[in-house]
């Protein structure tokens, strides 16, 4: 990326150089970036809007979930479910695969993510971030399962 260039500009320029690119991957990345920006805003305002502290539940890894973990997960789901680029999503914060709701079109990618990695550091003002991976959904798979994410 060049100085002053936004992430969106960068990925669109990269797409222009890719023969036969449809723009689906670019649009999906934009949706992920939108989620990350919204999560960043929540983290920055955490104490002001009352989203710090424990949620009183555990994630699939057995770790205590923070209120921001659950909020961040919801943000990731809502920002990415509607675009028509995904077949399903999987998150560290959920026990099961998240299928794309029937009212939205399904796409050719799978999204895995930890919406707020390092959330246990929030209360002591250390670094946090979002981690994600985009995979191609296997051809002909209508309802992806956990095996499709491996």
pLDDT digits (tens, 9 = 90+) for 48-83: 455 565 655 667 766 666 778 888 999 999 999 999
Average pLDDT along the chain = 84
Residue 143 has pLDDT above 90, yes or no: no
Q: Which of 1-5, 71-75, 93-97, 139-143 has the lowest mean pLDDT?
A: 1-5
- Name the nearest CA neighbour of 60 among 113, 101, 136, 13: 113
> Token pair 């999503």 is at which residue?
89
CATH code of 22-149, in short, is 3.30.540.10
| Other CB atoms within 10 Å distance of the CB of residue 84 | 14
Contacts of 88 (CB under 8 A, 6+ apart): 97, 98, 99, 100, 110, 111, 137, 143, 144, 148, 149
Write out pLDDT tens, residues 102-138.
999 999 999 999 998 876 666 666 678 899 999 999 8
| pTM check: above 0.85 | no
CB-CB contact of 130 with 72 (8 Å)? yes
Write out pLDDT tens, residues 80-99.
999 999 999 999 889 899 99
The model's confidence at residue 31, banded by pLDDT at 50, 70 and 90, is very high
How far is it, in rounded angstroms, from Cα 74 to Cα 72? Answer: 5
């Amino acid at each position: 990326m060049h100085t002053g260039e936004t992430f969106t500009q960068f990925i669109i320029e990269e797409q222009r150089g890719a023969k036969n690119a449809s723009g689906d991957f670019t649009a999906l990345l934009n949706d992920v970036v939108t989620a990350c920006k919204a999560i960043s805003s929540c983290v920055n305002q955490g104490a002001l809007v009352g989203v710090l502290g424990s949620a009183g539940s555990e994630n699939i890894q057995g770790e205590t979930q923070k209120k921001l973990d659950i909020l961040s997960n919801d943000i990731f789901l809502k920002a990415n479910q509607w675009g028509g680029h995904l077949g399903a999503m999987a998150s560290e914060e959920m026990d099961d695969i998240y299928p794309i709701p029937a009212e939205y079109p399904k796409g050719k990618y799978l999204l895995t993510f930890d919406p707020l990695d390092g959330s246990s550091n929030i209360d002591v003002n250390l670094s946090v971030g979002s981690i994600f991976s985009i995979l191609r959904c296997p051809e002909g798979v209508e309802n992806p399962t956990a095996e499709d994410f491996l």
